[in-house]
Amino acid sequence: MLPVTILIPVKDPYQSKTRLSGLLSSSERSTLAANMLMRVIQAAVRSEVDDIVVAGSQLNSLKQLIEVQEFGSVRWVDVLGQDLNGDVEIASAGIKNSGRAYIYIPSDVPFVTSNDIEDVIRSSEDGGIFVFVPSESDGGTNAMLIPQSSTFSPLLGVDSFRRHCEYAERNGLDYRIVRPSGLTLDLDTEEDLAHCEEIEPGFTDRLAAFPVDRLE
């Protein structure tokens, strides 16, 4: 297998999940964001990938949380923290310069598993071709694997899944679309939160009420 790095960009949790403000306080939204990130990291650590990058601004309150955790394969990379696409480009440049492909995974896919991550890698022919995972609800991209040799620039944001596929087609790039069940649901809206409750009753109370160090 070609070497692959998992790249997880993060906003400061106090600036996250504003579309849930009708249901959750600022503190609850911050706790939810931090706990979802830890779920994503735990799935990444359990996978076969041996290099995991969490990318955020130097002032992001999650930086200390990540650095004190005993995750041997996880490292923090400082980025500007102002624009998602810019942050992914900055962090991925260092990854690709070290000879590795990367998998972008957002920090708000709370049901991702190590098997989901490994499905993406296998679908990429071990890091050799592009793989895109769509969001089930909003046209976004919930994961993508980018080969090391590519000059691809991310197009994350509104309708990004279609735009990523069109980019690959315009440039004659081989790509695959996969839908691992734990990667297709990202949590942004009240409807998404209700779906999470259907999958895991008590999800909101568990992840929005208790700090990371009090979760199992």
What would the DSSP string read from start to end of 47-112?
Answer: SS---EEEEEETT-THHHHHHHS--TTEEEEEE-SS-HHHHHHHHHHHHHHTT-EEEE--TT-TT-
Residue-wise pLDDT tens digits, 168-204: 999 999 999 999 999 999 999 999 999 999 999 999 9
Contact 3, 96 (CB under 8 A): no
Q: How confident is the model at residue 213 (pLDDT cuts 50, 70, 90)?
A: low
The reply to whether 143 falls in a domain is: yes
Q: What is the pTM of this model?
A: 0.94
Domain count along the chain = 1
Identify the H or E element spanning 143.
strand 141-146
Q: How confident is the model at residue 126 (pLDDT cuts 50, 70, 90)?
A: confident
The reply to whether 214 falls in a domain is: no
Report d(CA 10, CA 186) in Å as an integer: 14
Q: Distances from the Cα of 191 to the Cαs of 19, 125, 177, in angstroms? A: 10, 35, 25
The reply to whether 25 falls in a domain is: yes
The reply to whether 131 falls in a domain is: yes
Q: Which residues are paired to 134 by β-bridges?
A: 141
Identify the H or E element spanning 40.
helix 26-46
The reply to whether 169 falls in a domain is: yes
Residue-wise pLDDT tens digits, 26-41: 999 999 999 999 999 9
The reply to whether 37 falls in a domain is: yes
Report d(CA 90, CA 58) in Å as an integer: 14
What is the three-class DSSP state of 204?
A: helix
Residue-wise pLDDT tens digits, 2-57: 799 999 999 999 888 999 999 999 999 999 999 999 999 999 999 999 999 999 99
- Residue 38, domain extent: 4-209
The reply to whether 159 falls in a domain is: yes
Identify the H or E element spanning 181.
none
Residue-wise pLDDT tens digits, 164-174: 999 999 999 99
- Give the CATH number of the domain where residue 38 resides: 3.90.550.10
The reply to whether 215 falls in a domain is: no
